[in-house]
């Protein structure tokens, strides 16, 4: 057991007669490690992009609510009357009359 550990630490498994198998495995494991690291980086990028988009959606939603509230305030009859009175237009004080059309 001690001899096997010393062989591994010295790297004799890389220069022995059947070292080609070992090198193939090491190369395969290295390629898999690179693929795994690349995949995890891509997943992290997507997570950050999703977080950024979620924050943007929340911001746009709150802006939408604010603008909708402003529009509702502007549509109130009192606000419309106030803005038009500055231009010289006032609401009618005379009630409207019904027009009836009688067909013969």
Give the max Cα distance, the chain: 122
C-alpha–C-alpha distance, residues 10 and 64, integer Å: 68
pLDDT, residue 92, reads 83
Q: Is 96 left (phi over 0), alpha (psi -120 to 50) or beta?
A: beta
Determine the average pLDDT of the residues in 13-28.
80
User: Is 16 inside a domain boundary?
Assistant: yes
Residue 12 DSSP one-character state: G
pLDDT, residue 24, reads 85
Which residue did the predictor score with more confidence, 26 or 36? 36
User: Is 60 inside a domain boundary?
Assistant: yes
User: Is 94 inside a domain boundary?
Assistant: no
Tens-digit pLDDT profile for residues 63-94? 999 999 999 999 998 888 888 888 888 888 89
User: Is 91 inside a domain boundary?
Assistant: no
* CB-CB contact of 14 with 22 (8 Å): yes
pLDDT, residue 33, reads 98
User: Is 24 inside a domain boundary?
Assistant: yes
User: Is 69 inside a domain boundary?
Assistant: yes
C-alpha–C-alpha distance, residues 95 and 62, integer Å: 42
**Total of domains in the chain:** 1
User: Is 47 inside a domain boundary?
Assistant: yes
User: Is 42 inside a domain boundary?
Assistant: yes
| Domain boundaries, position 33 | 2-86
Determine the average pLDDT of the residues in 2-19.
76
pLDDT, residue 78, reads 87
Which residue did the predictor score with more confidence, 45 or 8? 45
C-alpha–C-alpha distance, residues 1 and 50, integer Å: 52
């Amino acid at each position: 057991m001690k001899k096997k550990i010393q062989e591994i630490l010295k790297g004799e498994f890389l220069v022995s007669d059947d070292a080609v198998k070992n090198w193939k495995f090491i190369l395969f494991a290295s390629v898999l490690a690179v693929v795994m690291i690349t995949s995890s980086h891509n997943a992290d990028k997507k997570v950050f992009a999703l977080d950024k988009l979620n924050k943007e959606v929340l911001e746009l939603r709150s802006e939408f609510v604010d603008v909708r509230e402003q529009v509702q305030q502007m549509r109130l009859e009192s606000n419309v009357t106030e803005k038009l009175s500055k231009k010289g237009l006032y609401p009618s004080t005379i009630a409207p009359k019904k027009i009836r059309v009688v067909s013969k």
